[in-house]
A and B are shown apart, each in its own frame.
Chain A
Amino acid sequence: MTVKQVSYTFESTLETINHAEEQASRIATAAGFSEDDVMSIAMAVREAAVNAVLHGNAYDPGKKVTLAFDQGDKDLTIVVRDQGKGLDVDSIPDPLAPENLLKQSGRGIFLMRSLMDEVQIKASETGTEVKLIKHFHGDAADSQEASQ
C-alpha cells in the first residue's frame, strides 16, 4: 500500500492561497492525475484556501491555515483547516437559485463540490476543516498500480 502524506502551515495571507494552489497542482501532477483533474484539484484547493484565509481567519496574522495531503491507493485527500469561528454551511444560499445568480460571492463551496468527487466540511468554534477527495481513475489509477 502506498501512502504519501505531507502537510504545510501557512499565514493568513493572499500569498497562501497561491501557495496552496501551487502545492496542490504539484502533488496532483506527481500522483498521476490527468491535466484536467490536476486543474480541478488545484482550483478546489484554491477555493478552500480562499475561504480559510478570508472567511475563516479573516486575514488575522495570529491564525494559521494548514494544508494536508494524503495520497492513498484509491484517492488523494486534501484537508484545509483554518482557526476561525467555524463556517455555517447551511447559511450559504444556493448560488444556482435564480435570485442568487447575480450575487458577487457564494460560489466557492459549490465549485469545490463540482470539481471534486467528495467534499466534507466540519465546522466548530475553533475553526473549519474542509476535506477534498479525488479518486484515482483512468490514467491516474494505472499510474498508481505501476508505482506499487
Chain B
Amino acid sequence: MSMKVSTRQVDGVVVMDMSGRITLGEGSVVLRDAVRELLSKGNKKILANLAEVNYIDSSGIGELVSAFTTVKNQGGELKLLNLTKKVHDLLQITKLYTVFDVKDNEAAAIKSFN
C-alpha cells in the first residue's frame, strides 16, 4: 500500500492525515512534496497525523527527520500525532522519540502550537 496524504486546517494548524507506508521511493517522496507544498504556501504549523501509517523504514524515518528540520529551519514547527505501536517503537530505538514533539490527542496538539 502506497502512502496518501490529505490536509486540513484546524485553528491555524495544518493537519496532515497520512496513511500507508513511508518507505524509500514513493512514500518518502509523497511526504517530502507535501511538506514542501505546505511551506511554500506559508503554512508553518504542521501536525503530522500518523494514525494510519502502519509501516516506516529507515528511509521513511530519515524523511520525517528531514521534514522536521526543514520546517524548523523556516521558523515553523512539525509535530507528530497518534503514532502506531510499530512507528512508536522505531522512534524509541532510534532515540528520535524525544527529538520529535509527539502527541496522542489532536485537540491538545492543536492547542500546543499556540
Contact = CB atoms under 8 A, between A and B. Distances in A.
B108 to A, nearest CB: 25
A96 B90 CA distance: 13
A17 interface: yes
Contacts of A107: 58, 61-62, 94
A134 to B, nearest CB: 17
Contacts of A54: 24
Contacts of A101: 65, 95-96, 99
Contacts, number: 47
B94 A50 contact: no
Given A17-B24, A96-B94, A104 B57 contact: no
If over half of B's interface residues share one DSSP class (helix, strand or loop), that class is named, otherwise mixed; here it is: helix
Given A39-B86, A102-B69, A104-B65, A47 B58 contact: yes
Interface bracket on B = 20 to 34
Interface centre among A50, A102, A104 (most CB of B within 10 A): A104
24 contacts: A14-B24, A14-B25, A17-B25, A39-B86, A43-B57, A54-B24, A95-B94, A101-B65, A101-B95, A101-B99, A102-B68, A102-B69, A104-B63, A104-B65, A104-B66, A105-B62, A107-B61, A107-B62, A108-B58, A111-B57, A111-B58, A111-B93, A111-B94, A114-B93
